[in-house]
Structure 1
Amino acid sequence: MSEPRLPRTPGMKLLFTLLIGAVLAIPLFTVYLLVYDRQNQSNTARASIAEGWGGPQSISGPILVIPYSATTTETVTENGKQVAKTSTAWHELTLSPDVATIQSTVKPDVRKRSIYEAVVYEARNRGTARFALPADLSRWGTTRAALALDRAELRFGISDARGLFGAPPAVTADARPLELQPGKGPRETGGSGFFTALDASPLAAKPIGVTFDYAVRGNQSIALLPQGGDTRWTVTSRWANPSFQGGFLPTERQVGANGFTATWRVGNLALGRTLISTDEHPEATVAAPERGLPGDSAAARVDLVTPVDLYAQVNRSVKYGFLFIGFTFTALLMFDLIGGVKVSPIEYGLVGAGLVLFFVMLLAFAEVIGFTLAYCVAGGAIIALLTAYSSAVLRSWRRGGLIAGLLTALYGVLYVLLSLEDLSLLIGSLLLFAALAAVMYLTRGIDWGGRDVPAPSKG
């Protein structure tokens, strides 16, 4: 006759509960990877939607490029005699406007494909610029007489020139319309853009005023790479969720439900560059690339962000999955230890599987109906399922109702944590403290090691 099995001690039950919770980390991590995979698919789909619209646009210019001649004399030895040879080479002087004003009107649009969507826009850029030559050019290694002003070029930069659309860009200099050609954008846009030949001979006597008007398409963001001595850029859009980025923030901005208006004012002193540079002596000017501000830090940028990034919110909610499992298992363990209702490891596992399934359902529904509504649908379905199952396991609808109340409170607290990102750590830590205090109070009289359990008789 076999000996009766010793009853499981409270400590053993706790150990089994912790073990099952640790095993559930595997499917929970799988859900985390699923969110990551779906987010990558979403990014790919968004890129495909916006493919024909051009990428995030950066605009630059105008700048005036003027050829100039430089004569050099060197002494060489020919047939044993010292001979002086003179040669003339052409170089480029780049002149930035001393004042530039640009107004960009951004018209956003949300394009959808299947369950994915992307924010694209059309931006009309209108502005004016004034160019003036300094009286003394000797510090840049040239003179006014050496400048070929009649062969100057006016250059504009657009990071993705495929985005140019609608009527051809219109550029005038002193009210004279100019014919445009593709390419020759400044180095800040990788040479992408357009240019026009300009007879800048009047520049020798007075400043030249330039006006321009062109429209571009893009997605996600639009940025300005300032070039002038005093650049003013005003962006107006009906998009209600802008994010101002880059090395320069707006000096004025108004953001509301109907859109935003933002104005930047950037000077060349803040940029760390002079208004004139040459290709002959780049080391003599602070406009050299290594001395200027690198990359995005020299740009003023506004992003058209999506108000709710559902993948980020689902990803954050998955990170709280252990709280759901821990609190629910703690409630079942209390019923087991205090209420005298035995809960088997299989039943713990099935309840845990339901808790993990919530995050899968949340992701699946959020892609279709949005995060908030998906949260309510998935949470309601899991609460109903686990309430019915817990009532059967605990042999009481009243006890099942307590589980329902616990889950409802947990889902409510989680939604608050997701909404109040800055206070999530504080609220979460207080919640854990309260739960630990409650468990310590309820289990203060439990004999975890089973020391008071009488040994079974052998007779």
Structure 2
Amino acid sequence: MNTEQTPFEKFGNWLKQSVGLKLTTITILMLLLLIPTSMIKSIISERKNLNRSVLNEVSSKWANEQQINGPVLSIPLLYEYRDKENEVIQQTKHLYILPDALKINGDIEPKTLKRGIYEVVVYRSQLNVSGTFDLNAKIDKSGLKEIQFDKAFVSIGISDLRGIEDQIVLNWGKEKLQVQAGSRLPEMMRSGVSIDLPNLEEEYTKSVPFSFALNLQGSQNLSFIPVGGTTEVQLKSPWSSPSFNGNFIPKQREVSDEGFTAKWKALLLNRNYPQTWVDRNMGQRMQESSFGVDLIMPLDDYQKATRSAKYAVMTISLIFLVFFLVEILNGKKIHPFQYTLVGLALCLFYVLLISISEHSNFNMAYLISAGVSSLLISLYSTSVFKSLKFTGILTSTILGIYTFLFVTLQLADYALLMGSIGLTIILAITMYFTRNINWYKLQVSAE
């Protein structure tokens, strides 16, 4: 009986038994699986953008982020000059005076609004603003014809006027003054309110106290411009996940499950604009000095899902490595199609994670998604390996990877450290189990 193989049969056997070709095939499959992985990232990004659009829509109807700027006192100055033809030219400039001291005490009451499956953080705030104006500013009297005290006014910048809940009354010295809508300083304050000051000439060169209450609603962020020579802000809220941002961080802060308290203090020397100036646009410099607090949702689910998807290549590589080592050590032939099914089962984890997390707690969604993916691959590997030992090793590997990934997602500040340590351990384990394999004489069983 002639058992000699034809050249085509020899070539076919070589294709089946070649370790190098197998590794090449696995690598190509991994690269192809990056396509659905990329699509998953696109899905996450799309859902995140949808969430952001809902957030913007709800915020626009409630009130957007709020920034408090001021109060700023403006006094028109009338100057008179003569040109080359000796004609008289009059020019009006404005003297801007900032408070010598500014104190803001506030309570922030957060509220979570829902639109469909999405949540948006909004708030109501009760702010008590007080301070003093030192009306002893030096004025360039060269060409000065008149200080128009009767046209002086105070401006208070409020970024979204829809958030004002109650009438604002300015206590100026011993007087109570009603505010008028609209900002008269558009380059400094895009929106806000203004107050005309009567009898300012009598108070000039004196120190005048002021105060007002501001009940304001907004979304996510509340910030302030430190216009005082000394600016002190104290806030408290039952929100347990604040993010302090801006040009100044709190001098004191306490954050717990019951909420947070924070105290800021900014001095004149800490910012890049003076207490008084004439006709210069300080709007940009003032904006650069702002500080405040964000009421953020605890580590965003979409952010977690995106970060987990970045580990998809590592997850697929490790599971394929286990399958390949089973081929090598157990002599069991595994078809590329079987690798593909396992890779798709791994990709399914991320789709389940993002879809379930939109309707439940992220941790529960992760547990369900990881459980389903692990069960699918483990049951499938049982029929592929036909060995409980190797199936157990694969299952342990999958659960270890998902556990490692879960811990890494929770430790946002230490994610890189955890990832590098985990990959080092994985590489060390792989090197240990493959240390005695003779790769030059190795062949995959052709059965």
Tell me which residue corresponds to 1:457. none
Tell me which residue corresponds to 1:362. 353
Q: Provide Cα deviations, 1:86-133, integer angstroms capped at 9, x if missing partner.
A: 344433211111111112221111111111011111122211121122
- Structure 1 residue 96 and structure 2 residue 98: aligned? yes
- Match of 1:306, SS state, is coil
Larger deviation: 182-191 or 394-403? 182-191
- Structure 1 residue 269 and structure 2 residue 260: aligned? no
The answer as to whether partners of 2:331 and 2:444 remain within 8 angstroms in 1 is no
Q: Among 315, 320, 335, which residue is 2:306 paired with?
A: 315
Tell me which residue corresponds to 1:435. 426
Tell me which residue corresponds to 2:378. 387
- Structure 1 residue 378 and structure 2 residue 369: aligned? yes
Larger deviation: 97-106 or 370-379? 97-106
Tell me which residue corresponds to 1:72. 81
Q: Provide Cα deviations, 1:212-265, integer angstroms capped at 9, x if missing partner.
A: 112222112111012121111112211111111111112222222211121212
Larger deviation: 429-438 or 220-229? 429-438
| Counterparts in 2 of 1:323 and 1:147: CA distance versus 1, 3 Å | same
| Counterparts in 2 of 1:69 and 1:434: CA distance versus 1, 3 Å | closer
The code of the aligned residue for 1:237 comes to: S
Tell me which residue corresponds to 1:150. 150
| Counterparts in 2 of 1:56 and 1:174: CA distance versus 1, 3 Å | same
Larger deviation: 309-318 or 97-106? 97-106
Tell me which residue corresponds to 2:135. 133
The code of the aligned residue for 2:49 comes to: N
Q: Among 314, 319, 340, which residue is 2:331 paired with?
A: 340
Matches within 5 A, 1:32-181: 32-76=41-85, 84-134=86-136, 136-138=138-140, 146-165=146-165, 167-181=166-180
CA RMSD of aligned residues (A): 2.5
| Counterparts in 2 of 1:441 and 1:197: CA distance versus 1, 3 Å | closer
Larger deviation: 256-265 or 343-352? 256-265
The answer as to whether partners of 2:136 and 2:204 remain within 8 angstroms in 1 is no
Q: Tell me how far 1:446 sits from its aligned partner.
A: 4.1
The answer as to whether partners of 2:136 and 2:205 remain within 8 angstroms in 1 is no
The answer as to whether partners of 2:134 and 2:205 remain within 8 angstroms in 1 is no
Matched residue count: 436
The answer as to whether partners of 1:9 and 1:450 remain within 8 angstroms in 2 is no
CA distance in 1, matches of 2:104, 2:432: 67
- Structure 1 residue 293 and structure 2 residue 295: aligned? no
| Counterparts in 2 of 1:247 and 1:9: CA distance versus 1, 3 Å | same
Q: Tell me how far 1:152 sits from its aligned partner.
A: 1.4
Tell me which residue corresponds to 1:16. 25
The answer as to whether partners of 2:81 and 2:90 remain within 8 angstroms in 1 is yes
Q: Tell me how far 1:58 sits from its aligned partner.
A: 0.8
The answer as to whether partners of 1:68 and 1:91 remain within 8 angstroms in 2 is yes
CA distance in 2, matches of 1:163, 1:44: 20
Matches within 5 A, 1:255-266: 255-266=255-266
Tell me which residue corresponds to 1:408. 399
The answer as to whether partners of 2:19 and 2:443 remain within 8 angstroms in 1 is no
| Counterparts in 2 of 1:43 and 1:206: CA distance versus 1, 3 Å | same
CA distance in 2, matches of 1:228, 1:194: 18
CA distance in 2, matches of 1:122, 1:188: 28
The answer as to whether partners of 2:135 and 2:208 remain within 8 angstroms in 1 is no
CA distance in 1, matches of 2:257, 2:107: 17
| Counterparts in 2 of 1:233 and 1:58: CA distance versus 1, 3 Å | same
CA distance in 1, matches of 2:442, 2:325: 19
CA distance in 1, matches of 2:121, 2:129: 25
| Counterparts in 2 of 1:230 and 1:331: CA distance versus 1, 3 Å | same
The code of the aligned residue for 1:156 comes to: I
The answer as to whether partners of 1:188 and 1:225 remain within 8 angstroms in 2 is no
Larger deviation: 200-209 or 249-258? 200-209
The code of the aligned residue for 1:249 comes to: I
- Structure 1 residue 197 and structure 2 residue 190: aligned? no
| Counterparts in 2 of 1:8 and 1:419: CA distance versus 1, 3 Å | same
| Counterparts in 2 of 1:301 and 1:186: CA distance versus 1, 3 Å | farther
TM-score (norm 2): 0.91
The answer as to whether partners of 2:328 and 2:443 remain within 8 angstroms in 1 is no
Q: Provide Cα deviations, 1:394-416, integer angstroms capped at 9, x if missing partner.
A: 11334322221111111111111
Q: Tell me how far 1:423 sits from its aligned partner.
A: 3.5
| Counterparts in 2 of 1:117 and 1:188: CA distance versus 1, 3 Å | farther
The answer as to whether partners of 1:56 and 1:220 remain within 8 angstroms in 2 is yes
Unaligned stretches of 5+ in structure 1?
77-83, 283-287, 455-459
- Match of 2:227, SS state, is coil
Percent sequence identity is: 29
The answer as to whether partners of 1:235 and 1:263 remain within 8 angstroms in 2 is yes
Q: Tell me how far 1:347 sits from its aligned partner.
A: 0.6
Q: Tell me how far 1:18 sits from its aligned partner.
A: 1.6
Matches within 5 A, 1:419-434: 419-434=410-425
| Counterparts in 2 of 1:151 and 1:433: CA distance versus 1, 3 Å | closer
Q: Provide Cα deviations, 1:332-364, integer angstroms capped at 9, x if missing partner.
A: 111111112211111111011100100110011
- Match of 2:364, SS state, is helix
TM-score (norm 1): 0.88
| Counterparts in 2 of 1:266 and 1:425: CA distance versus 1, 3 Å | closer
Tell me which residue corresponds to 2:217. 217
CA distance in 2, matches of 1:169, 1:377: 52
Q: Tell me how far 1:374 sits from its aligned partner.
A: 0.4
CA distance in 2, matches of 1:190, 1:243: 25
CA distance in 2, matches of 1:225, 1:41: 32
The answer as to whether partners of 2:308 and 2:409 remain within 8 angstroms in 1 is yes
CA distance in 2, matches of 1:253, 1:85: 61
Tell me which residue corresponds to 1:25. 34
The answer as to whether partners of 1:130 and 1:208 remain within 8 angstroms in 2 is yes
Q: Tell me how far 1:54 sits from its aligned partner.
A: 1.8
